[in-house]
Amino acid sequence: MSEKRYVLDSFAVLAYLQDEPGAQLVENILADKESVVFLCAINLGEVYYITHRERGEAEAERVLLVMEQLPIKEVLPDRALILQAARIKAEYTVSYADAFVAALAERLAATVVTGDPEFEQLPSVAIKWLPQA
């Protein structure tokens, strides 16, 4: 059987960590032995700053520890990924962080896991949508 590749965005990570709608889908993907899950370091930073702003620095640090235990491969952006994200950002009205998600998904031929409607405008990216409340 072939592996299934997924790239999580901050929307999916936060849904999982905060047990919001979509958490079960993310948990199922993480538990699936045939799935390989990726997260761009830029989006880890996004999860950190959102958590810090909404719940404080101590909780943001705890989230980092939790993330280290999950079967997620963190990808540091290289020059090519940065430039691909910049191209996506120039062409579409997505956040810069979301542009990294899309660029990484394109590079890896992976499916983006998200509930963020910004991704609807990206035709080159396969999406696995999180269920809404």
Annotated binding site for Mg(2+): 9, 98
Element (H, E) at 127: strand 126-129
- The Cβ of residue 30 has, within 10 Å, a number of other Cβ atoms equal to 16
Q: Which long-range contacts (CB under 8 A, 24 or more apart) does 74-77 make?
A: 74/38, 74/39, 74/40, 74/41, 74/44, 75/38, 75/39, 75/40, 75/41, 75/104, 76/41, 77/40, 77/41, 77/42
* Binding-site residue ranges: 9, 98
Measured between alpha carbons, how far is 79 from 38 in angstroms, rounded to an integer? 18
